[in-house]
Structure 1
Amino acid sequence: MFALSPAAFLMLLLAGTSVTAQTCPPPGEAEGRCIELTADGTNEVSEVQISPGQPTTFSFDSDVRADEMTLENRERFKVAPGKRLITLEPSERMRGEKPSTLTVCFADDAAPACVTFRLVVHPAIGERRVELFRQPRPMESVQAELKKSYEENARLRAEIQRMRAEQDRPDGLTGLYSSGMMGETGIPCSRVDFVLRPRAALSPQRVITCRSPGRMLVRVDLRNPDGAAPWTAQGAKLVGVKGEELEGSVWPPGPALPGELFILYIEVRAEGVQTTGPFVLKLWEVDGPRIITLGNVTFPALAERPGL
């Protein structure tokens, strides 16, 4: 016997007259989360992460009885039911709540008849789309996924080349200048008149933003209240005016101790970002519900390349 490469296997699959197997795309190639539901998996419960104020859409490949679905704490959700799409948006009252369950049954008589999801509340990040496959996908779907895999491979190759190029540069000011991140005008920074959203876990004292080609940096000076538990940042993101999200890396890992001033840096890759803001900055802690949300976070424009 000889082994087929993934590409060769897909080509053979495309050459057939029909698609008989039900599978999700390979990891990283699906838009959002993908779940396969088989007849012998009737009692399986899939965990889905939701977040207050962020809609999560469930997409089914066959009709469902959306008007008969069972949703715990339904009064705390905005629900948009449909034949193949169900969108849930948790309210702020769900923040810090225990997981809820969602059960949806299909309109036909095929097995399995229903599917159950365990909805876990996260203070800042929710899954935006969950696709559920219950029947074999059509040939057009396989062809589209094959095309998408080629595009994803091309993107990954470009990312590897970029990382290798960065490794070949020296550290320090020489590396910054040679990479194009700093020029004769330097890296502009400015102090921000931020807006603190309600229920902030820590008290921000000062926010400074900096910008260079392809990068944005936020410095946040935080004070943890006296008597509060230590606070350690797990992640951060910037949300633009059109809903675009930019994930950020956080340094240092912490923690912010009670009563102490703690300086946190959030760096975001911003290739192709054509605006200086305003953004909403969200910070959340490790294994806890305490979140910090800052509005009106703006960045200075680049002197040599305005508008970036």
Structure 2
Amino acid sequence: MFASSPTAFLVLLLAATPASSQTCPPLGASEGRCIELTAEGTNEVPEVQISPGQPTSFRFDSDVRSDGMTLENRERFEVAPGKRLITLEPSERMRGAKPSTLTVCFTDGAAPACASFRLIVHPAIGERRLEIFRHARSVNSVQAELRKTREENSELRAENARLHAEHDRPAGLLGLFASGMVDANGIPSQDITKLITTRESNSLKSWWVKTVRAPGRVVIDLWLENLDAAKSWTPKGAVLVGSKGEVLEASFWPAEPLPPGERRHIWVEVMAPDARTEGTFTLKLWEADGQRTFVIGNVTFPALAVKPGL
């Protein structure tokens, strides 16, 4: 998944360039995803997630030949080529299209002469920025992989500890009090039905939208109607997108199809530090086949109640 690991890097079968080449920074230190092109690895082509109407930029640390770029379905893209920066923006004609391939060739004559990327179309989320570092395998790149593995293991240990802690608590309402999600003041909530913005292309209609906050998590309570009179709407994925483009992974329930013309509750939950869910967000919900989406803007969450004496 691209949205769940935006700074993960791929190792390709590519040859060395000068030792002064850059290496990928530690996870979280850069805005986009970093791809290292090294002398070791496999012949796999890295996948890049794109979305109609959203620009994706490739920044290289080597000059790219102006006549050495090929792009499948180029007529369906807005392309801004440059020596080291290439920006692609797929048009709406790419929605639901099969993957395309972008190939670039470098000017310095060193191996690898060219590099390819597989462009995967997503209905709502596109990667904004990729840093492409082209160099031989080095101690620094090995250390970067070790740092990545250590960080992933640390995250897994933290998640495992959280799950164990939750199982050690009582169930039901008592469990909510024990977890700290509920206190004597209840859970802060607000009705934002009249505040949200919607898109004409939405295939679902929102009858009400309420937001709820508890420590470390927020929930959006949606009462939705399937506007299609013939086809069910089955949710597949959801994200919150902040005002600066930051993407927060979201879970949803239930996952069953919403029959044609019917209404149903759908709850969307995001688990993140409270500071990351402050401000205004856009909710994106998409269905299983990727053709239809539901997008609302101006989504905000209530503040947590301040306890006496704080």
Fold in common (TM above 0.5): yes
From the superposition, tell whether residues 234 and 39 of structure 1 become closer, same or farther in structure 2 (CA, over 3 Å).
same
Q: Equivalents in 2 of 1:150, 1:280: separation in Å?
A: 33
Q: Equivalents in 1 of 2:263, 2:176: separation in Å?
A: 29
Task: Give yes or no for contact 1:76–1:91 (8 Å, CA) kept in 2.
Answer: yes
Alignment counterpart, residue 200 of structure 1, candidates 199, 202, 221: 202
Task: Give yes or no for contact 2:223–2:263 (8 Å, CA) kept in 1.
Answer: yes
Q: What residue in structure 2 maps to residue 32 of structure 1? A: 33
1:273 aligns with 2:270: no
Alignment counterpart, residue 223 of structure 1, candidates 217, 220, 225: 225
From the superposition, tell whether residues 76 and 165 of structure 1 become closer, same or farther in structure 2 (CA, over 3 Å).
same
Describe how 1:1-308 pairs up with structure 2 within 5 A.
32=33, 34=35, 46-60=46-60, 62-66=62-66, 68-74=68-74, 76-130=76-130, 135-192=135-192, 193=194, 194-304=196-306
Select between 50-59 and 74-83 the one with higher mean Cα deviation: 74-83
Secondary structure at 2:275 match in 1: coil
Select between 168-177 and 56-65 the one with higher mean Cα deviation: 56-65
Task: Give yes or no for contact 1:38–1:134 (8 Å, CA) kept in 2.
Answer: no
From the superposition, tell whether residues 33 and 140 of structure 1 become closer, same or farther in structure 2 (CA, over 3 Å).
closer
Q: Equivalents in 2 of 1:190, 1:272: separation in Å?
A: 16
Q: Equivalents in 2 of 1:240, 1:132: separation in Å?
A: 25
Secondary structure at 2:154 match in 1: helix
Q: Equivalents in 2 of 1:273, 1:220: separation in Å?
A: 23
From the superposition, tell whether residues 63 and 51 of structure 1 become closer, same or farther in structure 2 (CA, over 3 Å).
same
Q: Equivalents in 1 of 2:150, 2:281: separation in Å?
A: 33
From the superposition, tell whether residues 112 and 209 of structure 1 become closer, same or farther in structure 2 (CA, over 3 Å).
same
From the superposition, tell whether residues 242 and 288 of structure 1 become closer, same or farther in structure 2 (CA, over 3 Å).
closer
State the aligned residue count: 284
Q: Equivalents in 2 of 1:182, 1:41: separation in Å?
A: 50
State the identity %.
59
Quote how far apart the aligned CAs of 1:292 are.
0.6
Q: Equivalents in 2 of 1:150, 1:101: separation in Å?
A: 33
Task: Give yes or no for contact 2:38–2:137 (8 Å, CA) kept in 1.
Answer: no
From the superposition, tell whether residues 271 and 223 of structure 1 become closer, same or farther in structure 2 (CA, over 3 Å).
same
Letter in structure 1 aligned against 2:49: Q
- What does the per-residue CA deviation read over 1:73-119, in whole Å, with 9 as the maximum and x for residues that have no partner? 44543444344443323244433344333221122334443233332
- What does the per-residue CA deviation read over 1:178-211, in whole Å, with 9 as the maximum and x for residues that have no partner? 1111111101222112211120011221111111
Letter in structure 1 aligned against 2:234: T
Quote how far apart the aligned CAs of 1:147 are.
4.0
From the superposition, tell whether residues 151 and 38 of structure 1 become closer, same or farther in structure 2 (CA, over 3 Å).
closer
Q: What residue in structure 2 maps to residue 13 of structure 1? A: none
Quote how far apart the aligned CAs of 1:284 are.
0.4
Select between 69-78 and 236-245 the one with higher mean Cα deviation: 69-78
Letter in structure 2 aligned against 1:287: D
Quote how far apart the aligned CAs of 1:236 are.
0.5
From the superposition, tell whether residues 242 and 146 of structure 1 become closer, same or farther in structure 2 (CA, over 3 Å).
same
Q: Equivalents in 2 of 1:38, 1:148: separation in Å?
A: 19
Quote the RMSD (CA, aligned, Å).
3.5
Q: Equivalents in 1 of 2:148, 2:302: separation in Å?
A: 36
Secondary structure at 2:270 match in 1: strand
Task: Give yes or no for contact 2:24–2:141 (8 Å, CA) kept in 1.
Answer: no
Quote how far apart the aligned CAs of 1:38 are.
6.6
From the superposition, tell whether residues 131 and 275 of structure 1 become closer, same or farther in structure 2 (CA, over 3 Å).
closer
Letter in structure 1 aligned against 2:303: A
From the superposition, tell whether residues 156 and 84 of structure 1 become closer, same or farther in structure 2 (CA, over 3 Å).
farther
